[in-house]
Amino acid sequence: MAQNPRTSETDTTPTTGRNDGLSRRSYVRSVAAAAAAVTSFGAAGTASAQGDYEVIEASGQTITVGDGETWENKLLDLTNGQDVVVVTEGSDWTIRNVGVKGRNTSGTGSSMFGISDAGGSSTIENVYLGDGSDERNGSSSGHGQTAFWANPEHSGHIDMKNVNIQNFADNAVYGSAPGNAGGGTIHIDRCFAANCYVSHFRLATAGSKVTNSSVLVDQEGYAGRGIWAWAPGPIEVENCQISMNGQNTAIDAGANGKGTEVVLRDTDYDEQAGIAEHAGSNVRLEGDSGTDPEAFMPEGTPTSAEEAASGSN
């Protein structure tokens, strides 16, 4: 099991406005405000049946997935240059078989999915966001569009399975905010993230983990960290492949002067990108971990918006 030298240098990526104690633009400009502007799915824009899924034409609307609701077999069509925001409320909801077609063009500092579970257990599975965000969406400081952002008040558990996120100008999964507040957990399993900025999978709370998943950075530009672990932790990473091609950091532990612990098990990471341990953090390697990563698309993860929406993968 080969290891490269680790660094404890302070984080040099701008963090202004990124404090996990603050909401992500007050939970997508606050759930309350969103709810006031929300129309239910039937009135949220143009919707049409196509095969085994519904097409929702983006018109700047916000869609709320409520307590106990299953929201599935949707294709969000962003090809007209407009956007959609999806937020969750309550507990025990499910988002399943959702494809996003077209590049996100929202202003910086927002997220496409604002997620939270209030003490129960919710699920996100078979979702495609592989078209990413466009050049109007990003900035060199990384304050661009996030794919999934967890509300700090998230206090339950969220399972993310077979999700494909690529080319977002900010975090693919920004799941660290509950670490300073609600304490909710997130399990990312059989997911793929590529060429996003700031980080690909970002977690903070004990019980949160990334398993059977892959991170790939193979383009210039938005080359974010592979996995970023915030306090309090510990965070588990198991059976993953983190291929950074020498860009940024493969495993980054700790931030804002607070350390954490990461357990890296049966996982390969890019040796040149390496491991960073900040503020007394510790990354512990276990099992068959090494430095020869081979990025892969987890079985069952959708590779197009249509495939995801129909559930045909």
* 189 CB neighbour count, 10 Å cutoff: 18
Answer for the pair 208, 183: CB distance below 8 angstroms, yes or no: no
Measure CA 131 to chain center. 14
Q: Say which residue the tokens 């143009």 belong to.
A: 46
DSSP 8-state code for residue 80: T
For 187, the enclosing helix (H) or strand (E) is strand 185-189
Q: How far apart are CA 68 and CA 66, in angstroms?
A: 6
Q: Which residues contact 40 (CB under 8 A, 6 or more apart)?
A: 63, 64
Q: How far apart are CA 23 and CA 25, in angstroms?
A: 6
Strand 47-50, strand 53-57: pairing: antiparallel
Burial class of residue 172 in the structure, from the number of CB atoms within 10 Å of its CB (0-12 exposed, 13-18 middle, 19+ buried): buried
3-state SS assignment for residue 49? strand
pLDDT tens digits in sequence order for the chain, 313 residues long? 332 222 222 333 333 223 333 333 333 433 333 333 333 333 344 444 555 999 999 999 999 999 999 999 999 999 998 999 999 999 999 999 999 999 988 755 579 999 999 999 999 999 999 999 876 655 555 467 899 999 999 999 999 999 999 999 889 999 999 998 999 999 999 999 999 989 999 999 999 999 999 999 999 877 899 999 999 999 999 999 999 999 999 999 999 999 999 999 999 999 999 999 999 999 999 999 999 999 999 999 999 999 999 998 8
